[in-house]
Amino acid sequence: MTTTQDSIERSPNAALSGLFAAVTTPRLASGAIDLATFDRHLELLLDADVDGICLGGATAEYPHLEVRERIDLLRHAARMLPRHKTLLVGIGASSIWRVLELGAHAFEHGSRAVLVPMPMFFRYEQEDLYAYVAEVARTLQAPCLLYDLPDFASPLAPETAIALLEQEPHVRGIKDSSGRPDRLARFADARGARGWTLLIGDDSKLADGLALGWNGGVSGLASFCPELLVALVRAATSGDATRLAHVRALISELIAALAAFPVPWGIRIALEARGLPTGPLPWPVSDERRAHAAKLKSWLPAWLERAEAADWSRVSSSSQG
């Protein structure tokens, strides 16, 4: 199997850049992973020319997956992914042993870096989070990106993140999903000329981050409409302000429409409306929720028609920074 591990060894300090689409976890009615739909989803993302994919993040609903399922999906995706596309893998789990197991498999199968979310459920002090990340990075001895996901895990203070970036050589960057605009300038200023990778995890802040010099984003919305997020990145990096404003308006409408749902549910319902059903949701669905989903499905075709009417080729791939 061809992997990107060679490129990791050749340029261990290179920053990642571009748009990385988060991938959902489709299920069969039995609860087993639906690999056929997973393959179709990857094809949708690759056809849209995303720079890479991210497995095992919030969009994948990682708390619902067994470690073995995640490793199997990783192996499967690594076989499908072209060599010139980047693989990122989230390794959040319920214990340090599972985190390290997932991290080892991620690098074995060509992940360019791993995303390290903070521990779930309980709230820990910042010194606990520092010790946790340091242990993961020192054990894996490979590029680790902090994954700040404060809605679902212990919040990572900017001071702690910057200390880790400055003091732990294998901590190479951050994916910030906090949605806090004040952090954009703070991390960009703290980075200076250093080669940290700064990735936006909140799609509503992606264009703002790019304007401040962030490297790109790991996008949940790109899981559903990768063409639109690719167009946003290309417009932002090429300085096409008119195009950027148009794309941002469409994205803002979509975010507002999905806001009523838990994040992955909204994306999965939207994918079904696009002809890519991802199977049953992980929890029973109420009648009220079904009504909300039906409303979303009835709204999406007109939005998709407007989104697809845009000529994505107007901003060519050669204009990317």
Q: What pLDDT digit, counting tens, does each position of 196-213 carry?
A: 999 999 999 999 999 999
Angle subtended at Cα 292 by Cα 290 and Cα 297, rounded to the nearest 5 degrees = 90
How many Å apart are CA 174 and CA 191, to the nearest integer? 11
Structure tokens at 222: 């790109």
pLDDT at 4 over 50: no
Global pTM reads: 0.91
Smallest CA-to-CA distance from 201 within 182, 178, 224 is with 178
pLDDT at 27 over 50: yes
How many Å apart are CA 309 and CA 321, to the nearest integer? 25
Structure tokens at 98: 């599972």
pLDDT category of residue 311 using cuts at 50, 70 and 90? low
How many Å apart are CA 127 and CA 161, to the nearest integer? 11
Q: Stretch 295-310: mean pLDDT, rounded?
A: 90
